[in-house]
Structure 1
Amino acid sequence: MFVPTRIVFGRGELTNLHSQPMPGKKALLLISNGKSTRQHGYLARTEAQLKQAGIDTVLFDQIEANPFKSTVMAASILARQHQCDFIVALGGGSVIDASKAIAVVSTNPGDFWDYIAVGTGKKKPVEHKPLPIVAIPTTAGTGSEVDPWGAIINEETNEKVGFGIDDTYPVLAVIDPELTMSVPPAFTAYQGFDAMFHSIERYLSKTANALSDVVTLNAVETIAGHIAQAVNHGNDLNAREQIALGNLMSGIIMKLSSGISQHSLENAMTAFYPDLPHGAGLLILCEAYFTDMIDKHVCDERFVQLARVMGIPDATEPTEFITALTHLMAECGVAQLNMADYGISPDEFGKFTVNARATMGGLFLADRVPLSDEDCVAIYTTAYYKMSTINQA
């Protein structure tokens, strides 16, 4: 297990940013193309903290919810022009994900896709050390602040690929739950379930092990026990703090156990439909995906244990996991998400399946039972029609 990130966790810790060791003197400060980071004062507070630490900053404020390769390249040009020697990523998972790619192409020649090892990537090695990253999350959903991974969309080829090397771990993560208080209810749910699925997948993966089991079950229990409160009562700082803690655990576990193909199937959807929030896509797929595993009796005892930590302490059947999951989705108001609402149609499921294998095929290798192409299309189809029926009702 290798997690080289210095982690500072707690309420109000952004105020102590200036006292943390910094990896350089001039930072490319990344934020999203949205308004919240400015509106809620997070940007101004971070700039003030960096100034107090003697750090000059250059702002890049164009990161999308599902970041594009072209945006990565534009940010890297800015970093080179201003001779930035590290990156500060202030925002949600998309901003921190993008920071990893930007860090690589700020110090290495060519296009970011030159360094992608799957799909249309050119599989070139990263020869020069990427810029160091300081991550300050304003959401709790991806764990990207404590893992090396970042998912980027090549809009020219409709590929969404996860990339990460040891040198793209953030050197410092400042996790202040107060910064998540402004996240709206729907996105609190999308992000919280994304974090929970990170741990659920790693518990169900064939790469699960004694240590990962301890962390993943604790993460799932923590998130499941507090996400409805965080969604429905967003000013509850204790609930926000617990979701941030569950997300942190889900991020730390990234290098100890692998995710499985649920994330591959979803990333294929957002590769073609980047307006679909990643967490929403996972929620659309989750019941069909996990039911397929349960029907195949892949790991019954693990589904029972998940049901127990998710609110059914006396669970004895794997299907009770689905009961717990759908109940939690209903409590959080995300049980009626629908592919059709984002323009997705059933004739695209074969295309998604091919894309998922080409770009995120490695996660299929961690499945306990292999998924055929027909299985993948069936999961998409079940998810599509089940959610359509719920919405019509």
Structure 2
Amino acid sequence: MSNYRFQTADHIIAGRHSVANIGEHLALVGLPIQKALIVTQPALVQTGAVASLEAALKDRGIAVDQTTNVEPEPTLENIEQVFADTVGAQDYDVLIGLGGGSILDTTKLLSVLKTNNKGLEAMLGTDLVEHAGVPTILIPTTSGTGAEVTPNAIVTLPEKELKIGVVSRHLLPSLVILDPVLTTGLPKPITAATGMDAFTHALESYISTKANPISDMFALEAIRLISANIVQAYQQGDDLDAREKMLVGAMYGGMALTAAGTAAVHAMAYPLGGKYKIAHGVANSMLLPHVTQFNLDAIQERLASVAGPMGIDVAGLSDGDAAQAVVDKIKELTKTLEIPQDLAEYGVDKDSIEEMAVAALDVKRLMDNNPKTVTKNDAIAIYSKLLV
């Protein structure tokens, strides 16, 4: 095993109604805060979550602005426009991201755009951000991406029909607040897709070529929490216990991928999002059973050890049969959670699959983590399984 490392958010506060006490947590940022920008989405304005957050900040004498102009799966141009309209013209002491993964990623990128004399395109890749950004506070409202604890942010490039990551320690936030109450209003499709996205982070990190004792610890606990609670959170969205465990599980999934990285599922999901605008969590959820089945012969022992945390009884089974039981359980989960199974619904046809396969293989940062080499023909065969 080569050397491995782990780094995450500076501080994490978790628990029910923890956002209501944000004023008490601000000291953890380590700087005086007089002016803040909330980066959020219109739905959270409508629910009153943004107003409650603003009120808590204003009670501390903090001036507050907000922006809701971040697009779903934001493009490079969208992020730079939001920057020009907000952070670029103002001096904020802290940026607060309240929302799903796209909001959290955008908040991180706005932070470093303010302090680095370069455009976003020049930051695409690994360790290309030179200076620490404006301090950030990240408050996830979905149990999915784990973006609140990772050094990654994803950008959509429509002209390349692809998504590309910015990876830098400077993207890690000063403070994370995990409040499960904020997730109780999630629609069922978002609960399903983001929950399976978090599960994918954990499973891919566990079978990654960069897996290590730190990532394994987080990955297995994420798998345990998500497997035991995702269906309940999906079927009974107001179950705070299930929501809380899903939120913590998603965070652990983010920590696992920070330590080990994801693999072929994510690489193959990027073209689906970049060209066909398929939400990241949906794309990962669709691909996960098929990519795991493809990898099976290379990861039998590792995959068999996931059965216990998933609650699967494999007593007396060989590693191969136990591993297959894990794949079968993943397939069962995607059906129970009504994850879409047909790429044709999004406009994908057979003629476009080869192009997507080539694009996926070009995401070498992730493909290199996969435990089994994926050829162009392999990728074509996997995509083809999702054309009903």
TM-score normalised by L of structure 2: 0.92
Kept after mapping to 1: 8 A contact 2:162/2:273: no
TM-superposed CA distance for 1:58, in Å, is 2.0
Matched residue type, 1:30: V
Q: Corresponding residue for 2:325? A: 320
Kept after mapping to 2: 8 A contact 1:192/1:243: yes
Which residue, 276, 282, 292 being the options, matches 1:280?
A: 282
TM-superposed CA distance for 1:357, in Å, is 3.2
TM-superposed CA distance for 1:218, in Å, is 1.3
TM-superposed CA distance for 1:281, in Å, is 0.9
Kept after mapping to 2: 8 A contact 1:104/1:131: yes
- Could you say if the C-alpha distance between residues 354 and 85 of structure 1 is closer, same or farther in structure 2, counting changes exceeding 3 Å? farther
TM-superposed CA distance for 1:152, in Å, is 0.8
Matched residue type, 1:263: H
Matched residue type, 2:90: H
TM-superposed CA distance for 1:86, in Å, is 2.4
Matched residue type, 2:69: Q
- Could you say if the C-alpha distance between residues 127 and 287 of structure 1 is closer, same or farther in structure 2, counting changes exceeding 3 Å? closer
User: SS of the counterpart of 2:116?
Assistant: coil
Which residue, 361, 371, 381 being the options, matches 1:378?
A: 381
1:183 aligns with 2:186: yes
1:350 aligns with 2:333: no
Kept after mapping to 2: 8 A contact 1:99/1:133: yes
- Could you say if the C-alpha distance between residues 206 and 245 of structure 1 is closer, same or farther in structure 2, counting changes exceeding 3 Å? same
TM-superposed CA distance for 1:115, in Å, is 1.6
TM-superposed CA distance for 1:134, in Å, is 0.6
TM-superposed CA distance for 1:348, in Å, is 1.4
User: SS of the counterpart of 1:193?
Assistant: helix
In structure 1, distance between residues paired with 2:130 and 2:236: 48
TM-superposed CA distance for 1:37, in Å, is 0.1
TM-superposed CA distance for 1:178, in Å, is 0.3
Q: Corresponding residue for 1:337? A: 341
1:18 aligns with 2:23: yes
TM-superposed CA distance for 1:48, in Å, is 1.0
TM-superposed CA distance for 1:107, in Å, is 2.2
User: SS of the counterpart of 2:306?
Assistant: helix
1:88 aligns with 2:93: no
Identify which range, 190-199 or 243-252, moves more after superposition: 243-252
TM-superposed CA distance for 1:133, in Å, is 1.1
In structure 2, distance between residues paired with 1:257 and 1:208: 5
TM-superposed CA distance for 1:338, in Å, is 1.8
TM-superposed CA distance for 1:81, in Å, is 0.9
User: What per-residue deviation string (whole Å, max 9, x for no partner) do you get for residues 269-303 of structure 1?
Assistant: 101122x1111111221222111111xx1010122
TM-superposed CA distance for 1:212, in Å, is 2.0
Kept after mapping to 1: 8 A contact 2:19/2:177: yes
Q: Corresponding residue for 1:75? A: 82
Which residue, 143, 161, 164 being the options, matches 2:164?
A: 161
Matched residue type, 1:273: Y
Q: Corresponding residue for 2:303? A: 303
Kept after mapping to 2: 8 A contact 1:104/1:129: yes
Kept after mapping to 1: 8 A contact 2:142/2:183: yes
Q: Corresponding residue for 2:37? A: 28
TM-superposed CA distance for 1:44, in Å, is 0.3
Kept after mapping to 1: 8 A contact 2:155/2:165: yes
**Structure 2 unmatched ranges of 5 or more:** 1-5
In structure 1, distance between residues paired with 2:123 and 2:369: 23
Kept after mapping to 2: 8 A contact 1:100/1:164: no
User: SS of the counterpart of 2:307?
Assistant: helix
User: SS of the counterpart of 2:95?
Assistant: strand
Q: Corresponding residue for 1:46? A: 53
User: SS of the counterpart of 1:150?
Assistant: strand
Identify which range, 320-329 or 233-242, moves more after superposition: 320-329
In structure 2, distance between residues paired with 1:171 and 1:356: 33
- Runs of 4+ displaced beyond 4 Å: none
Kept after mapping to 1: 8 A contact 2:125/2:167: no
Matched residue type, 1:25: Q
In structure 1, distance between residues paired with 2:336 and 2:129: 45
TM-superposed CA distance for 1:367, in Å, is 1.3
Mapping 1:202-241, distance limit 5 Å: 202-241=205-244
Q: Corresponding residue for 2:3? A: none
In structure 2, distance between residues paired with 1:222 and 1:371: 30
User: SS of the counterpart of 2:257?
Assistant: helix
Kept after mapping to 1: 8 A contact 2:125/2:165: no
User: What per-residue deviation string (whole Å, max 9, x for no partner) do you get for residues 199-244 of structure 1?
Assistant: 0001111111223222211110110111000001101111101101
In structure 2, distance between residues paired with 1:167 and 1:61: 24
Matched residue type, 2:72: A
**Structure 1 unmatched ranges of 5 or more:** 389-393
Which residue, 44, 58, 71 being the options, matches 2:65?
A: 58
Matched residue type, 1:355: A
Q: Could you say what the CA RMSD is over the residues aligned between the two structures, in angstroms?
A: 1.7
User: What per-residue deviation string (whole Å, max 9, x for no partner) do you get for residues 303-346 of structure 1?
Assistant: 21223322312263121112111222222222x43211111112
In structure 2, distance between residues paired with 1:140 and 1:256: 19
Aligned length: 373
In structure 1, distance between residues paired with 2:123 and 2:198: 27
In structure 1, distance between residues paired with 2:34 and 2:375: 51
Identity %: 28
User: SS of the counterpart of 1:383?
Assistant: coil
Kept after mapping to 2: 8 A contact 1:287/1:383: no
In structure 2, distance between residues paired with 1:302 and 1:272: 33
